[in-house]
Structure 1
């Protein structure tokens, strides 16, 4: 704790020095300075200690619970949108793609709920409006948990009022929602585009290989940009610069992919959720997966915060005079 307090004081000193040096707008998009390879181990260890001090597992549990509550309302909104612009078969295509990174029980729970709602929907427009109102409240509630965790990682007190917090949270929901819609569009319509291009070029196998290879870089890139935007917008810090790329976003994406794949493998091969929980097994698996996803996301915020503290301490420390020639 003493070491963490020392880092907090160093960060405050660096922030004060940076504020005195500011002469223009600082909330602008810019690339991150390069992080040297030898700095990564110490950075990750320090971020891990900070995560435990900030009670990250508890915050991830709150985020998982809030996200789980947001699922029904979000599904209503998704079904309403699908009924207006897409065919029911799109649901199966999306769930097939989701199954490559999520546990099978979680995918089955979402797919069954979507199909049941789709079969019972009367008017797509009404369902879309109701789903939007419910999804707005529940998803912004989940995002306020993210904002709390990110501000705690930066040792900041979020002084924004309730309306402003909800508006900022809605902006974060839009960022994540747009990213997910882009991914869904690419994954669903990508194979059709691949077929058209392959037929036009008379190179179906080559174009198919290119698309199969490009799917994962596209997924990682979109998530990377979305996480970077979430980390930048969640903090109540007017002088923090919005960076296009951040080490925390890279760690969060890679960690999320790893824990999702590992948990999906465990749940399918070694887990006994069906025997233990019966009909509740799908909900339990979904909650555990959301908790692991929350841990990955919030640990990325801790990495970003520790990285910026170190950079701030370097800027605030006096430079050594150049040796005489």
Structure 2
């Protein structure tokens, strides 16, 4: 137990030595008069482990002066640190070093037989892990129900948005040419009689001479009605990003109307590209002497422009509708996945409707409306899944940065005034309920009261 002094075979019972559990203490040990050599069993010399070839490792294991005689009182065995050699020390060190190697260096190390760590770097977000988390959260947040609610609000917003769109288009060109396009969009959603009423209303609007304040008021009212979809999408985004809505109504509604206005303007640009761009390109080609070449070039070039408009629409919905402050990116990974999934789902659904389904026999005259509603539902599903993917990628980044994002994302909110008011009202409700319970108990326990 204790180190012996050189030249002595037994412990000096009158010697004051430091206690084992208190190194450096000056308290004496109580004299017991027992020969330590008689109590200590004979131990076989331990087999020395094989030393590494590295001189640095040998020095680290042996320490300075391993074979030298001690010059002072030896330390107790329990207080002396024991360094056990690690058989795989070199391999462990190689694994730690090879995380940051280039693919060429990793392949060269693997060919030479040296250790290479093939595990994914935990510091980098795993796209596959985030995708699995997004699928799980997609079901947990009940995104299928959210998509159905968004489809409902989309149907309510289509016709006010069409009126606002037609009013805006009337400022730059003849709006009558757009009536047929808007009617084609609305045809699957309504019956023939309703479609004729919508067409007549749009034609009357195009022939009216409303201007100035009347036009502005009409556009604002239409945008206010069309902003219902933007508000519903913002509530869905708040659930996905795990934040509460804290903006007051006087701040929230104008923001939703502004987002709706930007959305309608982008859709107007898309319609202008589809309807007006052909004749304009033909006229420009005739002036430049290119004839049909300009039309051919524009028919190819307009699709990237339309793709940019779609990217802008998705980015604005993801960034501007929730109460969370996020870094704005025109094309986030989730937005890219949402657009790709939407295109694939639309193509697959169109093929299914044209070749497999029997909607005409099942739903009769409303089959077109059912197909349009299902397509809107698939569109909203794609948008929500892209938002879930962005949310889970952000969660993995926060976890790797040391933030407590296991339960909820750590995102700053735009405004928390409504959140604080709701919390204060909830505390008042809880206090009122507590008073009812305490008055019912009358100072006793619940089991002492008769059941009523």
TM-score of the superposed pair, with normalisation by structure 2:
0.54
Partner of 1:259: helix, strand, or coil? Answer: helix
Give the equivalent residue in structure 1 for 2:259. 172
CA change 1:106–1:40 in 2 (3 A) is farther
From 37, 53, 71, the counterpart of 2:158: 71
Is 1:256 equivalent to 2:339 in the alignment?
no
Partner of 2:244: helix, strand, or coil? Answer: coil
From 191, 194, 199, the counterpart of 2:278: 191
- 2:281 touches 2:298 (CA, 8 Å); kept in 1? yes
CA change 1:81–1:182 in 2 (3 A) is closer
Q: If each structure's helix is expressed as a fraction of its own residues, which one has the higher value?
A: 1
Give the equivalent residue in structure 2 for 1:105. 188
Is 1:154 equivalent to 2:237 in the alignment?
no
CA change 1:202–1:260 in 2 (3 A) is same
Is 1:270 equivalent to 2:356 in the alignment?
yes
User: After alignment, is 69-78 or 227-236 more displaced?
Assistant: 69-78
Is 1:52 equivalent to 2:139 in the alignment?
yes
Structure showing greater radius of gyration is 2
Taking the aligned partners of 1:196 and 1:174, their CA distance within structure 2 comes to 31
- 2:176 touches 2:203 (CA, 8 Å); kept in 1? no
Give the equivalent residue in structure 1 for 2:179. 91
CA change 1:170–1:210 in 2 (3 A) is same
Give the equivalent residue in structure 1 for 2:47. none
CA change 1:260–1:95 in 2 (3 A) is farther
- 2:166 touches 2:175 (CA, 8 Å); kept in 1? no
List runs of 5+ in structure 2 lacking aligned partners: 1-124, 404-452
**Cα deviation code 1:76-98 (max 9, x no counterpart):** 334445566424233335777x7
Partner of 1:242: helix, strand, or coil? Answer: coil
Alignment coverage as a number of residue pairs: 274
- 1:249 touches 1:301 (CA, 8 Å); kept in 2? yes
Taking the aligned partners of 1:231 and 1:244, their CA distance within structure 2 comes to 10
Shift of 1:108: 9.5
TM-score of the superposed pair, with normalisation by structure 1:
0.72
Bigger relative contact order, structure 1 or 2 (CA pairs below 8 A, ≥6 apart) = 1
Taking the aligned partners of 1:251 and 1:295, their CA distance within structure 2 comes to 12
Give RMSD over aligned pairs. 3.1
List runs of 5+ in structure 1 lacking aligned partners: 1-37, 318-325
From 185, 194, 214, the counterpart of 2:301: 214
Question: After TM superposition, what 4+ stretches of structure 1 lie above 6 angstroms from structure 2?
Answer: 107-111
User: After alignment, is 130-139 or 53-62 more displaced?
Assistant: 130-139
